[in-house]
Amino acid sequence: MPAVNPNFEDEGDSPRVISPFARTTSTVQTRGGGGAGSWALWLVSSLLILVIIGIVGFFSYKYLSDPYRTLEPFPMDKYLEDYRSMAGNKFKADLKVSADLGWKAETGRLMVFTLQNDNRPLVVLIPPELSGLFFEKGQNYQTSLEVREGGLVYADSCEKE
């Protein structure tokens, strides 16, 4: 007589599989008082998500509102080598006030600055449109600079740091 597998019942032509757990039962018990703990967890999670969104939003706004973010840093070495290759280009620079060379109403103010990472002097013309700015020796400014004809550097905009 052939060996019979106890997990199969023969019903004619097709065998049927019987699970070994077919005759067992199980119950799931609910925890009492779980509603208060999950409510507090939802509240803390929501506050944490709001704080993270606020921080990301703040830094995104700060980055996107920077008017100088698309400009390249002013290349002092390249300027001193050959300013003609830079004519018409705009750059950003973090400048420190060194001296005031004078002011003329129609022309603007001629200032001497140094770059924050370079102590060589850079002469910049501040146009009359920016006459509301008051420069004092040692102050730092973030500026948009343009090299114009003759190699003179013009400040298109200045913001005190």
Residue 39 banded pLDDT, cuts 50, 70, 90: confident
* Tokens 């803390």, residue located: 44
User: Are 144 and 101 in the same domain?
Assistant: yes
Residue 104 — φ and ψ, nearest 5°?
-135, 130
Question: Average per-residue pLDDT in the chain?
Answer: 84
Output the pLDDT for position 115: 93
Name the nearest CA neighbour of 101 among 161, 156, 152, 148: 152
Output the pLDDT for position 76: 92
Output the pLDDT for position 32: 56
**Four-point Cα dihedral 60, 133, 125, 120, nearest 10:** -70
User: Are 49 and 108 in the same domain?
Assistant: no
Report which of residues 102 and 6 the model is more confident about: 102
Asked whether the predicted pLDDT for residue 29 surpasses 90, the reply is no
Q: For 51-74, what is each residue's pLDDT tens digit?
A: 999 999 999 988 888 878 889 999
Whole-number percent of the chain with pLDDT over 90: 45
Q: For 83-131, what is each residue's pLDDT tens digit?
A: 888 988 999 999 999 999 998 888 899 999 999 888 899 999 999 998 7
User: Are 61 and 76 in the same domain?
Assistant: no
User: Are 86 and 151 in the same domain?
Assistant: yes
User: Are 124 and 155 in the same domain?
Assistant: yes
Q: What is the pTM of this model?
A: 0.61
Output the pLDDT for position 54: 96
User: Are 48 and 87 in the same domain?
Assistant: no
Structural domain that includes position 84: 72-160
The DSSP letter of residue 85 is G
Report d(CA 41, CA 39) in Å as an integer. 5
Beta bridge partners of residue 159, listed in sequence order: 142
Pair type for strands 140-147 and 118-126: unpaired
